[in-house]
Structure 1
């Protein structure tokens, strides 16, 4: 059985996986939702991008996990991808859920020309943090009003340094066994950097979901099923 380490994107904590964890555990798998430093119940802890990478590695090692499936949503794909390279033979697969992916020497904001200025301005205005989205920003993403209220109410400002510090990769990301989950309401095609790896790596698979960018809220059982199927994918 797989051991899933679940890491949500910007502003969110381990609580974001509350509806995904039960079906994973019901299937006999381990499910370990992780809150990264500086967010949710770990708010106030200093954090850079490498802090988040170490958070993930430490969780795997502390629990002595094997057959690990690292799951990174949105921003979290960046530290999850790096952590996947650092846990050695403990790793079974990485699942990127509508996420960014790391590129050596590049940051979260590097490939996002227009968004970079917006994020950096928010960080400057809010004392080093990226301010959470407002309820209106979640429109058109297959979320109920109740789900949007829950996301907005649980969000905390995101540590800015994690967004501007560069990733560190020891080898090409395409060498990792990985599944990329594309949520179609957030764009019909993966970002160009993701598409390039999908086209060139024999170890990557693409799966689509007809939902928005936050499937752990909008389609938790479907996402859990996809995670289990990804864990059983032949990585050769």
Structure 2
């Protein structure tokens, strides 16, 4: 049986996986949803990007987990990708759910669509945090009004340093056994960095006909894909 470690993206905590956890456990697997430092119930804990990497590594090593399927959504693909390299043979597969991926020496802000300076300015204007999205920002992502309300109410400001500090990779990411889940309502194609990684024999691409938050919009289908990735 696999041990799933689930890490949600910016602004979110372990609660975001509430509807994904039961079908994974019903299939007999261990499931460990994780809140990163500075978010949700861990608000106020100082955090840089390497803090988040260590959050993930510490969860796995502290629980002595083996046969790990490590799942990173959105922003958290960056720390999850680094953690996947650092846990060695504990890793079965890393699953990137519509996520960013780490680039050695690059940050989340480096790939920001408006340029890094725009995101850095937004963080500076909000006391060192990336402010959560408003309800209107979730339009077109396949979410019900209730699901949008859960996201808005559950989101907390995201520590800015985790977005601006550089990633540190010890070997090519394409060497890891990986699945990339592309959510089609958030764009039909993976970004160029992911597209290049998908040329590796170790990487697989699967798609979902939903938006960027599939753990809320299609939790049963996401759970099915995660179970498939574990085999």
TM over 0.5: yes
Return 5+ residue gaps in structure 2 as ranges: none
In structure 1, the residue matched to 2:226 is 227
In structure 1, the residue matched to 2:60 is 60
Equivalence map 1:181-192=2 (5 Å): 181-192=181-192
- For normalisation by structure 2, the TM-score amounts to 0.99
Deviations 1:151-181 (A, max 9, x none): 0000000000000000000000001000000
In the alignment, structure 1 residue 195 sits paired with structure 2 residue 195: yes
Matched pairs, number: 231
In 2, distance between residues paired with 1:98 and 1:167?
A: 18
In structure 2, the residue matched to 1:16 is 16
**Maintained 8 Å contact 2:112/2:119:** no
In structure 1, the residue matched to 2:154 is 154
**Maintained 8 Å contact 2:184/2:207:** yes
In 2, distance between residues paired with 1:32 and 1:193?
A: 28
Deviations 1:195-229 (A, max 9, x none): 00102x11000000000000000000000000010
Compute the displacement of 1:115 (Å): 4.8
In 2, distance between residues paired with 1:115 and 1:16?
A: 28
Compute the displacement of 1:186 (Å): 0.2
**Maintained 8 Å contact 2:57/2:87:** yes
In structure 2, the residue matched to 1:207 is 206
Deviations 1:22-42 (A, max 9, x none): 000000011100000000000
Partner SS, residue 103 of structure 1? coil
Equivalence map 1:81-230=2 (5 Å): 81-199=81-199, 201-230=200-229
Deviations 1:76-135 (A, max 9, x none): 000000000000110000000000000100000112251533321221111100000000
4+ residue runs over 3 A deviation: none
RMSD across aligned C-alpha pairs, in angstroms? 0.8
In 1, distance between residues paired with 2:117 and 2:218?
A: 32
Deviations 1:44-89 (A, max 9, x none): 0000000000000000011110000100000000000000000011
In 2, distance between residues paired with 1:71 and 1:63?
A: 17
In 2, distance between residues paired with 1:168 and 1:12?
A: 23
In 2, distance between residues paired with 1:120 and 1:153?
A: 24
Partner SS, residue 24 of structure 1? helix
Partner SS, residue 142 of structure 1? coil
In structure 1, the residue matched to 2:46 is 46
In structure 2, the residue matched to 1:36 is 36
